[in-house]
């Protein structure tokens, strides 16, 4: 299967998947966390990291384009869901940019805009979860750079991407409201390596790099676990 982001360029599905690889590798990024949350993100408690997420929980994302709501199910991917719950509870996603938005494929985000936080979390890899759900439109999955390399980057599937299932991409959640907002996120910059944002530069320089070179990117204003 191919897609054509430009009339003169044909990109294979394999090339698109390469962009789902989480780059493992200036200090002006703003992240937006409260002082308490930033302290927890810079020095996460092993005991709290070991806590299990609820069986199901919702996260409301307020973005520069509007709101969307995500529901996670621990039974789908418990290791990934536990990490997602910790990050949302501690305001990790506040201020992050949607740095890879490809029409008819995915929306990818999750690199902290604060390089000091990004450095902490790129080293905290997760063991893989078995794939129990399919990467259909609206499903949310971690990016990864090979087995057992998931950290904080996630992507929202914008179409049926079930080919990713056999590659080990295990969905942890789905968008239950506001998918139209996801579809409106700015997609004009394309791929890193083809003129789009570079993941390594985001990690090293934070939102300052993105604000200077990719000012039209949309962002998460804040993301909070919704109390039922």
Mean pLDDT by 10 residues, the chain (228 residues): 26 58 46 83 95 98 98 98 98 98 97 97 96 98 96 98 98 98 96 91 97 98 92
Look at residue 14 in the predicted model and tell me its pLDDT.
55
131 touches 168 (CB < 8 A): yes
Look at residue 27 in the predicted model and tell me its pLDDT.
35
Please write the tens of the pLDDT for every residue from 54-86: 999 999 999 999 999 999 999 999 999 999 999
Q: Where are the alpha helices (DSSP H) in the chain?
A: 13-18, 35-42, 46-49, 78-89, 115-122, 179-184, 199-205, 207-213
Distance (Å, rounded) from C-alpha 99 to C-alpha 101?
6
Look at residue 31 in the predicted model and tell me its pLDDT.
52
Q: Which of 169, 204, 180 is nearest to 19 (CA)?
A: 169
146 touches 99 (CB < 8 A): no
Please write the tens of the pLDDT for every residue from 145-162: 999 999 999 999 999 999
Domain range list for the chain: 56-226
**CATH topology for 56-226?**
Cyclophilin (2.40.100)
Please work out, in degrees rounded to the nearest 5, the angle formed at the alpha carbon of residue 94 by the alpha carbons of 160 and 123.
Answer: 80
Look at residue 223 in the predicted model and tell me its pLDDT.
98
Distance (Å, rounded) from C-alpha 190 to C-alpha 3?
13
Distance (Å, rounded) from C-alpha 192 to C-alpha 189?
9
In a 13 Å sphere around the CA of 28, the CA atoms on its Cβ side amount to: 6
């Amino acid at each position: 299967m191919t897609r054509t982001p430009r009339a003169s360029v044909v990109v294979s599905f394999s090339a698109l998947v390469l962009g789902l690889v989480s780059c493992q590798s200036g200090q002006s990024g703003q992240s937006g966390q409260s002082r308490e949350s930033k302290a927890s993100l810079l020095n996460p408690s092993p005991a709290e990291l070991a806590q299990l997420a609820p069986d199901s929980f919702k996260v409301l994302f307020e973005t520069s384009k509007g709101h969307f709501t995500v529901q996670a199910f621990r039974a789908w991917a418990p290791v990934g869901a536990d990490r997602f719950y910790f990050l949302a509870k501690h305001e990790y996603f506040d201020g992050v940019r949607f740095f890879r938005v490809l029409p008819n494929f995915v929306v990818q985000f999750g690199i902290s805009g604060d390089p000091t936080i990004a450095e902490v979390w790129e080293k905290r890899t997760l063991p893989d979860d078995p794939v129990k759900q399919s990467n259909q439109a609206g499903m949310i999955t971690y990016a990864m750079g090979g087995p057992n390399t998931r950290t904080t980057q996630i992507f929202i599937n914008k179409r049926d991407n079930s080919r990713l299932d056999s590659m080990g991409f295990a969905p942890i959640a789905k968008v239950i409201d506001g998918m139209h907002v996801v579809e409106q996120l700015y997609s004009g910059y394309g791929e890193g390596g083809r003129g789009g944002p570079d993941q390594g530069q985001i990690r090293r320089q934070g939102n300052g790099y993105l604000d200077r070179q990719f000012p039209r990117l949309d962002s998460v204003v804040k993301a909070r676990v919704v109390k039922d």
